[in-house]
Structure 1
């Protein structure tokens, strides 16, 4: 499985505008199987739960709030590439443009 950090790098979406890439990727994400969706949701929880744990620790250590912010900012960097990679296999190839 290839990891796609940007929708521009997905072969089936090359040459499409951003709005169309996002639309097709969203449609492909809806086709994920139950085990794939479960795995993705568990991954999301593994990223989100530590943020709340760190926020709860701010009563005794205010720097944990900074760590919570850092973990929260890393969320898209961890989850999106995996979601894009899992959804990419459900994308139909981009239609070829005819040169007239």
Structure 2
């Protein structure tokens, strides 16, 4: 699986406008299989749960708020490339159907 950090970098979508790229991603997301959705949701949980753990620890350790903010910044850096990587194979099907 190849990872993409932006929809601009997906070869099938380079010629489309931003709204068309987002629509194609949304359509591809609906076609994800159960295990792919499960993988994506488990990955999201693995990033979100530590954020809440750090927030709970703020009452005893003020440095935990910094770690919570850093973990929050990691969310799009980890989730978006995996999400786009999973959707790419379905984008090619959408693109060929549209032509």
Q: How does the TM-score come out when normalised to structure 2?
A: 0.91
2:90 is aligned with 1:90: yes
Match of 2:61 in 1: 61
Match of 1:51 in 2: 51
> Any unmatched runs of 5+ in structure 1?
none
Match of 2:21 in 1: 21
> Any unmatched runs of 5+ in structure 2?
none
Higher helix share: 2
Number of residue pairs the alignment of both structures matches:
96
1:1-44 deviations in whole A, cap 9, x for unaligned?
A: 11111101111111111111011101101100000000000000
Question: Which is higher, the Rg of structure 1 or of structure 2?
Answer: 1
Cα displacement (A) at 1:93: 3.1
- Measured on the aligned residues, the alpha-carbon RMSD in Å equals 1.3
